[in-house]
């Protein structure tokens, strides 16, 4: 299995010659490269830092996503709708030969006065290893995970919340995602805190540059 971070929350997972891409959005500098040759694209929720019409048009891949995102695609890029399959929390899918389970229903609360957006994460089973992308939620899959893709900074979270989420999932390896809203200096602090607390639990935390493999 090969995991490549493509910026912010966009991650490409390759297994047995099949590539799946999660959340290629506006904060992904090279979304076309991320989706190039992909057999499928998974989108967690409707916010533009997790998908754009341009990113989805950059490949001919089928798209799996929740109803709220499908509605936005219908408004902004109706030409893509024929490639969209709508999924729901709890669904079990076969995405280009990779088993995927849809996890969770809601985005983390941004502010009590704002809508509580829909969000579903995806648990991918790649041979003997499982990779979990939660989208913009701190909701675990309720089963063992080998690699957690963990949000580390956002307007809707504190570092402590992200650390406790990662500790609760307790994946042997955690890869930082959702990291474009902090400065490099602040991300250095994030790395120190995540690394310290997860390391104390015997877990590995890493953050990769755009385009770098785990």
Average pLDDT taken over every residue of the chain? 96
User: Average pLDDT in the 157-169 region?
Assistant: 97
Residue 27 CB-density burial (10 A; 0-12 exposed, 13-18 middle, 19+ buried): buried
Share of the chain above pLDDT 70, in %: 100
Domain membership flag for residue 190: yes
Here the tokens at position 44 are 């967690």
What's the domain count of the chain? 1
Domain membership flag for residue 13: yes
CA angle in degrees (0–180, nearest 5) for 97-102-105: 165
User: Average pLDDT in the 162-176 region?
Assistant: 98
- pTM, 2 dp: 0.96
Domain membership flag for residue 140: yes
Domain membership flag for residue 214: no
User: Average pLDDT in the 141-168 region?
Assistant: 97
Domain membership flag for residue 26: yes
Domain membership flag for residue 213: no
Where does the pLDDT of residue 109 fall: very low under 50, low under 70, confident under 90, or very high at 90 and above?
Answer: very high
CATH number at residue 173: 3.60.15.10
By residue range, what is the domain housing residue 194?
A: 2-206
Domain membership flag for residue 108: yes
């Amino acid at each position: 299995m090969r995991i490549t971070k493509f910026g912010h929350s966009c991650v490409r997972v390759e297994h047995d010659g099949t590539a799946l891409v999660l959340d290629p959005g506006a904060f992904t500098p090279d979304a076309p490269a991320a989706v190039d040759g992909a057999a499928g694209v998974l989108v967690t929720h409707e916010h533009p830092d997790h998908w754009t019409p341009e990113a989805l048009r950059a490949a001919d891949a089928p798209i799996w996503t929740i109803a709220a995102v499908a509605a936005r695609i219908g408004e902004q890029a109706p030409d893509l709708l024929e490639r969209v399959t709508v999924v729901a929390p709890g669904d079990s899918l076969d995405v280009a030969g990779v088993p995927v389970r849809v996890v969770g229903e809601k985005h983390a609360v941004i502010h009590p006065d704002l809508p509580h957006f829909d969000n579903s994460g995806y648990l991918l089973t790649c041979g003997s290893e499982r990779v979990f992308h939660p989208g913009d939620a701190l909701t675990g899959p309720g089963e063992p995970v080998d690699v957690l893709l963990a949000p580390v900074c956002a307007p809707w979270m504190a570092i402590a919340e992200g650390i406790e989420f990662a500790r609760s999932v307790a994946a042997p390896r955690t890869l930082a995602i959702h990291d474009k809203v902090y400065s490099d200096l602040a991300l250095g602090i994030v790395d120190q805190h995540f690394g310290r607390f997860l390391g104390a639990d015997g877990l590995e935390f890493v953050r990769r540059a755009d385009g770098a493999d785990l």
